Structure 1
Amino acid sequence: MDFDFERESKKPAVMKILIEIFIWAAQIAAVIFLAYFIIYYCVEKTTVIGSSMEKTLSANDQIIINKFIYHVSDPKRFDVIVFKQSGKEHSFYNIKRIIGLPGETVQIKDGYIYINGEVLEEIIEVDEMVNYGLAAEEIVLEENEYFVLGDNRNNSEDSRFASIGNITRDEIIGKASLRLSPFNFISKLNLKES
């Protein structure tokens, strides 16, 4: 009975190679999963289209959308959100500022926005609106609806008009968080001086 020493010594080397291949494949799978998770659930880059958010954001500004934040918290008044309405003919994202929250009553009259009958104190610099649209009458928001306006109030298609209307929670992609060039947090742009 002969013993093959050479065959026995190759076994640990083959096992070592197989373990390295397995670890390498697991690392690649983890990176692919992490990239998918980040892009699908956490952040996305988009470009601002149009002038409806000027003086805060301009056409062609590159922004980062925080898609994760609304999985752990609710959208808040004055958040700049990115949304896409289902069933609409265009394929681009809309970017507007939340004014009315679910369950509230919104009305625009005499140049002011009223929330539940109280004048809303604006936090940003905006021109006085000349067209109140549907909001000239009281609009009662459902439990999953938001009323949004563009910061360029006299050149914005927003919740005042039937073409956009109220935004539902499931249409919101995320919060517009960063402007890339010039770099800044969007929540810090165009604020009224205190």
Structure 2
Amino acid sequence: MSVKLRLPQEARRQTGDNRQTITDVPDTEVPVPVPVPVDKPSTHQQARGAKIEDFGEEIKGAAKHRYAQLAEAMGKTLEDGEYATQPLSKLFPKPDYARLEKEGVDSDTLAMMALYRSEIPTRTSRNIQKWISIVKSGREATAGMLEGKIPAAKLADMMDSKPGLRSMSDTWKLLRTLSASQIDKASGYRVRSGVYSFVGGKRYDPPQMMYSR
């Protein structure tokens, strides 16, 4: 599947070696250990141990399978008619960020997923085309990140290069430092930056980068 990643529309910008060598050992008599009979694990115990280990591997595999399914669902091509009629909960379901974190999804990706989803406005008959474009962007970006085709930092760099989307990049830099339980709520805010030489009655020379919410 080829992924064509898009950025949200600018119209939304308001919203070793460890072995040791032992030398100089005194020539002393070393006690010879007496063999002690050791019971071998029963066939049942061996089988039980193998089952526990296999179960652990199954858990890891199931976790990877779950977010692989999410990536596949987000990367599926849909017709505009499907976007126009299906609810957002099916087109771009709200991710369980805490569970995805436990399953191995990194904080950069979680933050970018939350950022894209928070950009989606309420769908109306007047903004339907823009709404479809924004949802498509979020789905494509999410699929690309989960499939390892594009890192979240690359998307942030692309946003940073466009003045109208720079606040999204600034917000992502904050979101990626938060815990998975905080990301969803915090993604509704926007952090804006700018270089100023005079702020609040104070002059800065050289001008300083300032952030605001």
TM-score category (smaller protein): under 0.3
Radius of gyration: which is bigger?
A: 2
Richer in strand (by share): 1
Length-normalised TM-score, structure 2: 0.26
Length-normalised TM-score, structure 1: 0.28
